[in-house]
Amino acid sequence: MAQEWQVEGKHFLITGGASGLGAAYVEAFLKLGAKNVAILDIDEKRGKEFAEKLNETYKSKVIFIKCDVSKEEDIKNSFQQVLSAFKRIDVIINNAGVMDDSIDVWRLACDINWQGLVSFTRKGIDHMRKDKAGSGGTIINISSTVALVNIDFVPAYSGSKAAVLHFGRSISTQEFYDNTGVRVLTICFGPTATSLLDNIEPKTVDQKFSKTFLSLPVYTYQSIESAVTAFVKMFREGKPGSVWLSQHDKIGQDITSELDEAEKFIKKMVYP
């Protein structure tokens, strides 16, 4: 029988947790029995209000910490604040993300989507790893279907999400999990009904093409509920290093074997 990972009693750290999918993860894992959840977000007003509302139901299980994940000092301080409050972190969800390829924002967006994610992942591994007196744990990194196919009107965003995908597959080998007890998972979401895609055309490098593409039937939005269901399924069932796909309101799918086959094909050309 396949192993099923448990939510009950776990301490969560969720970036970008004040709204959208991040907020939905917070509520989902609290309902499933998480012991504590730390919401990290740059939106202090919304984050505080959300945490206060949740604590009316969940009896002080939730804390909010303002954090700009593009800034290393914020990441370091926030991580330590969570440890001070909870004494341990069992699950990190690197959810914070920005889709904006505009000339003035793309670099900041990449810092949020990629650099901040790597920093939280590495801090999480150092804290969790069993070979350094930790208790193991799970780190989930959010990629996108644009990491799997070419979408040319948001190339910087696509590149940052491809980096997330390759980072997760590179770092989370079976040997790594056996040594550390840290499970790294990656999920690729298709278009989802959140604010990420609001007013997207000015944030692209080709507004004309983006308008045409976004009107195509293939570009349909899945519900937040479907995305969260897929996410929870991955958390419970995902093998270390696995990559999952969630799109079109379908059941979450483990696509690791398909990616492995593609990699084998490429390796034959790279290492003849």
The confidence band for 31, taking pLDDT boundaries of 50, 70 and 90, is very high
Has this prediction a pTM greater than 0.85?
Answer: yes
| Structural domain includes residue 6 | no
CA triplet 65, 135, 73: central angle to 5 degrees? 30
The yes-or-no verdict on residue 239 having pLDDT over 60 is yes
Which ranges in the chain belong to alpha helices (H)? 20-31, 44-58, 72-86, 106-110, 116-128, 155-171, 174-180, 207-214, 224-237, 256-270
Alpha-carbon Rg for the chain, nearest whole angstrom, is 18
| Structural domain includes residue 1 | no
Higher-confidence position of 83 and 223:
83
The secondary element (H helix, E strand) that includes residue 186 is: strand 182-189
* Minimum mean pLDDT range among 79-83, 204-208, 227-231: 204-208
Half-sphere exposure of 57 (CA within 13 A, CB side): 9
| Structural domain includes residue 241 | yes
Domain hosting 35: range is 11-270
The yes-or-no verdict on residue 92 having pLDDT over 60 is yes
Mean of per-residue pLDDT scores for the chain: 91
The yes-or-no verdict on residue 33 having pLDDT over 90 is yes
Average the pLDDT over 124-141 and give the result: 98
CATH classification at residue 91: 3.40.50.720
Q: What is the pLDDT of residues 140-174, one digit of tens each?
A: 999 999 999 987 778 999 999 999 999 999 999 99
| Structural domain includes residue 21 | yes
Write out the catalytic residue numbers: 157
182 burial (CB, 10 Å; 0-12 / 13-18 / 19+) is buried
Helix axes 224-237, 20-31, angle to 10 degrees: 50
Q: Which pLDDT value is given to residue 135?
A: 97
Number of domains in the chain: 1
Q: Which pLDDT value is given to residue 150?
A: 83
